[in-house]
Structures are given as C-alpha cells and as structure tokens.
C-alpha cells in the first residue's frame, strides 16, 4: 500500500490522474441550439448551405455592372438606365441589362448580372428613368458574394468547442437548430465523518454541519457539470465502500469529503486500493492547504479523497478536479487558462512559506490610491469567515521560502 510518506508535487499528482483517464469519451446527444450555452460539441458542426445563399448589397445604393461605371467621375459621370427597385426580403427580379441600374437597400439581393453597388451619395437621379454615377465601382464593390461568409460543408465549430452566445447565433443563421453535445459529467459527492450533520440539523456537542458537500455542489455546478449529493456517511469501511460502488454506476467522478483524521484518510485510501484497478495513484501532495489529498482511478472513474478544511477543498478542486472535469467533459479550449481572471497587486505583508511545498494564500483585494493591494487572510480557525471574505488566492511556488511585503503578486480571483 502507498503510505502517507509517498508525497508528490501537485503537478506530478495531476499528471498521474490525467494519464490514467480512459480514452473513451462521455456519451452525447443532439440538443436544441438555444439551450446549448456552455455545452461542448461532441462532433464537428458543419454548414449545410452557403451563406449568404445569394449575393447581397452591404450598402444602400444602386446595383450595377461594374464595367458600366468604368472611369466615371464627378466631371465625367456614367449614365445608367434605372431598371426598377429591389426590396428587402424579396427576390431580385429579372437579370440586370447592360447599362442598367436598380435601387437596392443594405442586405438586398443583387439581380443576376449585377456585380457591384454604387452608394447613394455617388449617384444623382436625373429623372424616373436615368441616373448619373459619379464614381467608378470595382467588381465586387459593396457586395457580399454567395458563400463568401460560409460555404456548404465548411466546419464552423470543431468537436470539443464550448458553445458561446455567438456560436448559438451562428448556428441559427445557418439553420442548424440542434447540435451534438456531450452529456454533462455527473459528479457524486459523498460526505464522511461521524461528527458531520446536515445543515438543517442543530449540531450537538462535538458535531459540525456539512459545509463541503454544499461547497462542492456549487463548484461542480459552476463547472457546468451535474452535482449528485449522496449524503453523509459514518466513518465505516463497509458503508463508505458501498456508496462508492453504487456511485460508480451513475457518476463520472467521485468526490469524498471529510475524514479529517489520519485513520479515516488511510481507510479511504484502503477502499480505493481494494475496490479495483488501477486503484490508488497518490496519497498526499506537497501543497498547502491540501496536503492530505488522495487520488485514484478505479475502472476508469477518478476518485478523490478531499481534505476536511473547506479552503483546502477549494484549492484541490481548482488544481485537480477542474482539469479532470474539463477533460471528461470533452472540452478543448486553447485559451482556457487565459480566461481565468488574474490581477496584479502588491502584497500587504510578508508571507513565510516552506520551500518544497506549493502554498495557496487567500487574500482580499483592496483598491487604494496607489493601486491594488492583496491582503493575506491567514487564520487557523477560519472555516467560514475566510471563505466568504476573500476575493482570490496568491500562490507561493514550490521552491520559494515566502513573499515580501510590497512585492508584486498575481491574484487569481474567484469567479
């Protein structure tokens, strides 16, 4: 059995889990595009038609044969025969004869033959039948060609893409009313601990309410996954093993929270070892808070035994569970890390840290006259107050012994 002495870095631990994830992807189904916000494309989304399906004008003006305006100028206008008017949402009508022009609105459909549009401001109508064009138009000028925007069979959204509002709009514009989307990963949340009672219960002497199930519920939902709270279980090998095995049938990830004591941690590690292959991957990480984290994979399902302190749960979720969920969800987002909100600030007081351990310090961000400051909130006790009062974290890297007051730091803001 991997003992508690096998402590590895956060990077190594994540790597072990990611490499152990199964190749197979989560099932998918077609969903209505207007419900697809945040969902992940399970396949490439391909245009079924050209867009625009016909050449359109990009301005209000007159559709013409460009060649008929060749060398037209203020002093030497071209004279064209007014051959009618095109209306929005209507067919363009008959082909445009040579030396002809038709009035056209922005977005209007060009008649066959026309290959350019002259703007109103460069045209002088002489009477109902004749106009003066004071400016030469090149072929294609003020026109969107058929399929210039999107061609039939073109991939518009790649497999793994996360649907944004503009992607929903784009699909609607191409007549794509449904897209193939991966099912949202389901995450079982199992609370353990003889001392844990549900929030609606008044804790007896020595008891404490379940914070972590609710924190994890929120974190999982915020990732676009489905939280499944399984309840609170006693620190008992058989009870916990039973709920893990049941959860494996209906969940993609299993999170165990609580069990602050060394004995309980060892028991959970033991269950992961006993229950199947490959089993336990690591037991302890050189991370603060978060050192007691346990990670394993059984039959392709990642299991995490989380530390008891809510602040440690948040750090472990951020570093380990979030990337695992992204991978299982099928997300391929090359800018994902850039979208994490980070601000530069100066540290308001010295932070000491032990080299060989990555430390995550919760801070309040304060706007002062001389810029942003990060105020570390370090509390032995802070179960609740530190949780709700802080705005983000500052990371003291693995091989650093601390950060000095006034030093520039990056604050990773909570979302």
* Residues within window 369-408 making contact with its own copies, judged by CB under 8 A: 379-385, 387-388, 391
Does residue 168 have a cis bond before it (omega within 30 degrees)? no
Answer for which of 338, 369, 370, 404 binds its own copies (CB under 8 A) is: 338
Q: 260-283 in b/e burial notation, b at 16+ Cβ within 10 A?
A: beeebbbbbbbbbbebbeebbbbb
Radius of gyration for the alpha carbons in the chain, expressed in angstroms and rounded? 32
Pick 145 or 332: Cβ nearer its own copies: 145
Number of residues binding to its own copies, judged by CB under 8 A: 99
Do the Cβ atoms of 170 and 108 come closer than 8 Å?
Answer: no
Stated as kind and residue range, the H or E segment containing 408 is strand 408-413
CA 189 from chain centre, in angstroms, equals: 22
Q: Is 174 in the site for its own copies (CB under 8 A)?
A: yes
Site string for its own copies, 117-136 (x = CB under 8 A): --------------------
Stated as kind and residue range, the H or E segment containing 314 is helix 310-316
Tell the smallest beta-carbon distance from residue 329 to its own copies (Å).
17
Pick 255 or 297: Cβ nearer its own copies: 255
Do the Cβ atoms of 195 and 258 come closer than 8 Å?
Answer: no
**Residues 260 to 319 in contact with its own copies, rule: CB under 8 A:** 260-262, 308, 310, 314
Answer for which of 20, 113, 125, 173 binds its own copies (CB under 8 A) is: 173
**Residues 76 to 95 in contact with its own copies, rule: CB under 8 A:** 86-92
Answer for which of 199, 356, 371, 406 binds its own copies (CB under 8 A) is: 199
Q: The tokens 């959204």 sit on which residue? A: 157
Answer for which of 43, 44, 132, 195 binds its own copies (CB under 8 A) is: 195
**Residues 2 to 31 in contact with its own copies, rule: CB under 8 A:** none
Tell the smallest beta-carbon distance from residue 317 to its own copies (Å).
8
- Number of CB atoms found within 10 A of residue 350's CB: 12
Tell the smallest beta-carbon distance from residue 313 to its own copies (Å).
8
- Pairwise CA distance, residues 262 & 145, whole Å: 70
Tell the smallest beta-carbon distance from residue 294 to its own copies (Å).
17
Pick 136 or 345: Cβ nearer its own copies: 345
Tell me the window of 61-69, 102-110, 298-306, 323-331 that interacts with its own copies (CB under 8 A).
Answer: 102-110
- Pairwise CA distance, residues 327 & 91, whole Å: 48
**Residues 205 to 234 in contact with its own copies, rule: CB under 8 A:** 205-219, 221-222, 229
**Residues 139 to 168 in contact with its own copies, rule: CB under 8 A:** 144-145, 148-150, 156-157, 163-168
Q: State the DSSP string of 228-296.
A: EEEEEE-S-HHHHHHHHHHHTTT-SEEEEEE--SHHHHHHHHHHHHHHSSEEEEEE-BSEETTTT-EEE
Pick 124 or 379: Cβ nearer its own copies: 379
- Pairwise CA distance, residues 84 & 99, whole Å: 13
Pick 295 or 310: Cβ nearer its own copies: 310
Pick 158 or 399: Cβ nearer its own copies: 158
Do the Cβ atoms of 269 and 283 come closer than 8 Å?
Answer: yes
Tell the smallest beta-carbon distance from residue 354 to its own copies (Å).
16
Which residue from 113, 114, 83, 84 is spatially nearest to 100, judged by alpha carbons?
A: 83
């Amino acid at each position: 059995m991997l003992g508690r002495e096998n402590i590895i870095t956060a990077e190594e631990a994540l790597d072990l889990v990611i490499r152990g994830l199964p190749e197979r992807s989560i099932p998918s189904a077609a969903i209505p595009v207007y419900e697809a916000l945040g969902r992940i494309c399970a396949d490439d989304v391909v245009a079924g038609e050209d867009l625009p399906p016909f050449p359109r004008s990009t301005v209000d003006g007159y559709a013409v044969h460009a060649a008929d305006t060749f060398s037209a100028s203020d002093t030497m206008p071209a004279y064209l025969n007014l051959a009618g008017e095109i209306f929005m949402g209507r067919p363009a009508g008959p082909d445009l004869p040579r030396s002809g022009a038709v009035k056209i609105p922005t977005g209007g459909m060009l008649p066959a033959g026309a290959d350019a549009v002259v703007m109103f401001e460069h045209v002088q109508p002489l009477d109902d039948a004749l106009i003066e064009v004071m400016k030469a138009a090149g072929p294609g000028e003020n026109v969107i060609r058929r399929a210039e925007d999107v061609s039939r069979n073109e991939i518009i959204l790649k497999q793994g893409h996360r649907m944004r509002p503009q992607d929903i709009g784009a699909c609607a514009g191409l007549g794509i009313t449904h897209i193939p989307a991966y099912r949202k990963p389901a995450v079982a949340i199992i609370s353990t601990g003889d001392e844990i009672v549900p929030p609606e219960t008044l804790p007896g002497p020595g008891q404490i309410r379940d914070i972590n199930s609710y924190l994890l519920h929120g974190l999982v939902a915020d990732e676009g996954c489905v939280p499944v709270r399984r309840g609170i279980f006693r620190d008992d090998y058989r009870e916990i093993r039973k709920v893990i095995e049941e959860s494996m049938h209906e969940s993609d990830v299993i999170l165990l929270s609580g069990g602050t004591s060394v004995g309980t941690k060892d028991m959970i590690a033991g269950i992961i070892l006993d229950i199947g292959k490959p089993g336990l991957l690591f037991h302890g990480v050189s991370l603060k808070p978060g050192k007691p984290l346990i990670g394993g994979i059984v039959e392709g399902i990642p299991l995490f035994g989380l530390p008891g302190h809510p602040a440690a749960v948040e750090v472990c979720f951020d570093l380990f569970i979030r990337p695992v969920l992204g991978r299982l969800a099928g997300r391929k987002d090359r800018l994902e890390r850039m979208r994490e909100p980070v601000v530069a600030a100066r540290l308001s007081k010295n932070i000491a840290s032990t080299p060989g351990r990555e430390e995550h310090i919760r801070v309040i961000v304060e706007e002062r006259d001389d810029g942003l400051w990060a105020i570390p909130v370090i509390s032995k006790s802070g179960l609740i107050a530190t949780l709700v009062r802080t705005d983000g974290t500052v990371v003291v890297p693995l091989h650093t012994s601390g950060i000095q007051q006034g030093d520039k730091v990056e604050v990773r803001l909570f979302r």
